[in-house]
Each structure stands twice: as C-alpha cells, then as structure tokens.
Structure 1
C-alpha cells in the first residue's frame, strides 16, 4: 500500500505543478508593453505639495471624472480588490486624474475614506479637461473619456512611462481593466500587477545580488 501511495504522489505532483504554473498566462512572463512613453502628469495640480510623476514608479492610473458617485464606487472596488495588497511595495502608486472642478468634493471624500482604507496613499492630480484628454489619448487605447473626463478603465504604467497590458486569449489586447467588474479586477488585473512587480524585483535582484527577497 505504501508503495502505491508513494507512486501516486510522485505521479500527481508533476501534474499539480504543471496546472499551477499554467493557470495564469502572464504569471512568469514579462507584461507586454502596449504603448511607449505615455504623457506624464508632472505639471498637474496635486492634493499635496509634491509633484506627481509616472517616472520611476509603477502606477495604477485612473480617470474617474467629476461625478462623485463614479469616483466613490470605482475607487472602492479598486482599492479593496487591488490597491490595498500592494501599498507597501516601494515605488508603487495609485494616480487618480480628475478635473479641477471635482477637487473640493474629492478632498472631502478622501478624508472620510481614510477611516476604512489607505486613501492617504492615493496620488490625486487635477487639470482642465483638455489636458486630461491629452494624457488619456497618449495611452492609445480603444477606450474613451466621456464629457466628465471619466472612464471606468484603469491602466498600468511602468517606471519608463510605458503602458503595460496583456495579450488575452479570449479578448485580445487588454489595455485597461474595468473597475466596475470585480471578477476582472480579482483575476486579470491582480495577476498582471503581480507580474510587473515581480519583473522589477527580479531586475533589481539581478543588478544587486545582495538584495533580500
């Protein structure tokens, strides 16, 4: 009996390992660059005294417009399903790009949201709608902003200011992730954020062999 048990384990382990590693297409590959050198937001107004930039950061970028209800719903989903898992990673940031007329309401909302999340770590920028549109269009995605500078899609921008995404077997190229869709955030976006963070950790370890895991 023991012999058959050992043989069964030896047979099952390789199959289990294969299924684990094959379960996510992007798990151990670089996340594709879909658009190079997107426009930066370093000249935009901010909710602090610090300038905000994509350079040298891994950024989750959102264009959530001036409708406070959209801002509330989408940031809550995104924060609970993605952001709160990664706030402790160096150089990771959430950049929320909003019209200037949303500033007062958004500031009040962020302050109240601090009670249940790490909203103090959100990087919020404000600009006129035409400037926001310039940044959005530089991403070169199939998505669009509405008249309130709103899109439900959120994007991953790397340290070189390149837009990252995935070549999905079912949907083709995914430029952004729908913040209204909890399943998409839980699965595809969460997987891709893990990939890009691992990519930079591996690059850092390669350049600095003494860097701890």
Structure 2
C-alpha cells in the first residue's frame, strides 16, 4: 500500500499538475482581436527622423497628450514592466503619439530613461490635436482621450494592424473586456499586460516555427 502511494506521488501527481497548467495555457493560446485594420501611422514627424509604422511590428501604442511631463512616471512603469522584458524580440516596439510642441519635454524624459535602459525599440511621433483625435477614433475604443488629447492607457497592436485585448470569459468564468492597460497601475502592467504580451509573442513564435518547418 505504501509503495502505491509513493508511485502515485512520484508519477501520477506530476502528470495531473502538468495537465492542469497545460489546459490553462491552451485557454489563452490566442489573444482576441477587438478591432480589425486600425489605421497605419501617417508620415508624421518622429523624434528619430525615421518613418515609424505599425505594419509588421508588435506594437505597444500610447497617446501622451500635452502634459508630457506628468506622464514620465507612467513611461518608466511601461519601460520596466513591459519593454525591458521583451526588447530582445526583434519586431517588438513601443510607439508614443504626442502633440507637436512637446518634443523638448520628451527629449528630457528620454535622456533620463536612456541612462538606465536601451531605448532602441521606443518611437515617438508628433502631429496636430485633430490628427491624433482622428487616429485614436480608428481604434474604435470605448474610451475617449482626455482634454489634453492623451490617455494613461496603452494598447497592443499586432503585425496585421489589429487591436488585441481580452474579450470573453476569464478563468473564473466571468465576462471580461479589456482593450487598454493602465500605465499608472504597476499591477495592471505586471500582471495583465505582461501576460497578454507573452501570449501574442508566443503566437508569432509558433507561426514562425510552423513556416520554417514548411520550408524544410
């Protein structure tokens, strides 16, 4: 009897645990699409003087608004919780849209961030308030921009210009809809967004492996 209990602990229990976690992972193999075919970024001025685009990139997209300096802490949160963990992925980028006239403030923030992190995958583009508002509307979000034409939320855009997020039942069986991630909340970034970015990156890695096998 004792030997049977030992065998169960050594062989059966680990298998049950594996199947439990495997089931949980499979439930979130794909991150739902919330809006298809969002607008590509036009030829707006960028801080790097290079054209910034969303197509063929996995993008974390944000709208800084006029009060850029008040967003500095949120950018640090995003950098630490999301960017630094995924910056090795070649097609991963962060794009921040800001109104014309905020360039100098953003340069100051970049200087601070750049002293502690490699910001190669960060991009900043600038345009008018009306253009920012119209671009934001193309995402078809439930929220609107604040009076300063910004928001503390950031969004996941996939390589095919689709807004991705959470839609459907969560692990508790409760209905969930999540289109943006609050950069004020380290918990939202560390838990929800970090998990969702992992899912979409894993999705593309799997697709890449499948394509490579087909070529062989």
Normalised to the residue count of structure 2, the TM-score between the two structures is 0.89
Deviation at 1:120, TM superposition (A): 3.9
The aligned counterpart of 1:191 is 195
How far residue 83 of structure 1 moved from its aligned partner, in angstroms, is 0.9
Alignment of 1:51-200 (within 5 A): 51-167=51-167, 169=170, 170=174, 172-200=176-204
Contiguous gaps of at least 5 residues in structure 2: none
Equivalent position of 1:4 in the other structure: 5
Q: Give the gaps of 5 or more residues in structure 1.
A: none
Query: In the aligned structure 2, how far is the partner of 1:60 from the partner of 1:103?
Result: 20
CA contact (8 A) 1:110 1:120 kept: no
Farther-moved stretch of structure 1 (168-177 vs 149-158): 168-177
Q: CA offset at residue 171 of structure 1? A: 5.7
Q: Distance in 2 between matches of 1:26 and 1:98?
A: 36
Aligned partners of 2:120 and 2:32: how far apart in 1? 30
Structure 1 residue 24 displacement after superposition: 5.6
Contact 2:31–2:196 (8 Å) recurs in 1: yes
**Aligned with residue 208 of structure 1, among 208, 212, 215:** 212
How far is the alpha carbon of 1:19 from its aligned partner? Answer: 3.5
Distance in 1, Cα, partners of 2:24 & 2:67: 38
RMSD: 2.0
Once the two structures are TM-superposed, the CA of residue 210 in structure 1 deviates from its matched residue by 8.2
Asked if 2 retains the 8 angstrom alpha-carbon contact of 1:24 and 1:191, the reply is no
What TM-score does the superposition give when structure 1 sets the normalisation length? 0.90
Question: Quick check: 2:100–2:127 contact (8 Å CA) kept in 1?
Answer: yes
- Offset, 1:47: 0.6
Please report how far the alpha carbon of residue 106 of structure 1 lies from its aligned counterpart in structure 2 after TM superposition.
0.6
1:59 to partner: Cα distance: 0.3
Query: What SS is found at the alignment partner of 2:22?
Result: helix
Match of 2:44?
Answer: 44
Q: CA deviation at 1:167?
A: 1.7
Does residue 21 (structure 1) correspond to residue 22 (structure 2)? The answer is yes
2:84 match: secondary structure:
helix
SS at match of 2:155: strand
Q: In 2 relative to 1, CA 165–26 (structure 1 residues): closer, same or farther, beyond 3 Å?
A: farther
Q: 1:152 to 1:24 in 2, by over 3 A?
A: farther
